[in-house]
Amino acid sequence: MMHAFPCGTLPLDFVGTCRARRNEVPVEKLAAPGQLDAWFVESGMFDTVPGADATDLDVAVDLREAIYALVASRLDGQPMPTRAIAEVNRHAAGLPVTLRLHPSGATRTGSVAQGLAALAREAVEILGGDDAALLRECARPECTQVYLDRSRGYRREWCAMRTCGNRVKAATYRARQHGGAGS
């Protein structure tokens, strides 16, 4: 697998395709059209690659950044940027993913535009509904992944325990051991 899906919501996992946003050079996981195709299939949104090209990739990155701008404004308690709202709304009005029933099951297919429309619609539901209050950013300083905190007591700190949570806990343990060694 080329991509990670720690959030449990596709729009927020899509935002996470640009990692370590605070670094001088963030890690771009959508650097080529094939990586966008892979994201759609690995996420389960499509059963077959949509056939992205360079223009599709540019449009997808623009939508991703618009969703991130809206999430960041919600996290900071600031008004949502009108340009980002317009971008997300424009995509949300697009055609849905194509579902087809076959004797052997069902398939999910579509164009990049259809996939982006589905992401935008779900982003609208998150940002415009009660779930917006559950938005959090991972507490690991190097990570900028956002997620919905549905944990008991709303105390989730990391985008994923198996990655960021383990790294933070291991670093804390090493720091305690290193500090105790000199005593």
Domain assignment present for residue 56? The answer is yes
Walk along the chain (183 residues) and give the pLDDT tens digit of each residue. Answer: 889 898 889 999 999 999 989 889 999 999 999 999 999 999 999 999 999 999 999 999 999 999 999 999 999 999 999 999 999 999 999 999 999 999 999 999 999 999 999 999 999 999 999 999 999 998 777 788 999 998 887 777 777 656 675 565 655 656 677 776 554
Q: At what angle do helices 54-76 and 33-42 cross, to 10 degrees?
A: 60
Domain assignment present for residue 2? The answer is no
Residue 107, domain CATH: 1.10.3300.10
Domain assignment present for residue 112? The answer is yes
pLDDT at residue number 177? 75
Domain assignment present for residue 5? The answer is no
- Flag whether the pTM goes above 0.85: yes
Domain assignment present for residue 1? The answer is no
Q: At what angle do helices 33-42 and 112-128 cross, to 10 degrees?
A: 60
Domain assignment present for residue 3? The answer is no
Rounded Cα distance, 66 and 175, in Å = 38
pLDDT at residue number 143? 82
Domain assignment present for residue 74? The answer is yes
Rounded Cα distance, 28 and 56, in Å = 16
pLDDT at residue number 166? 59
pLDDT at residue number 8? 83
- Token digits of residue 173: 């343990």
Rounded Cα distance, 61 and 18, in Å = 9
Count: domains in the chain? 1
Q: Is the dihedral of CA 22, 27, 30, 32 positive or negative?
A: positive
CA distances from 123 to 14, 29, 73 (A): 10, 20, 14
Q: Which domain holds residue 17?
A: 10-181
Domain assignment present for residue 52? The answer is yes
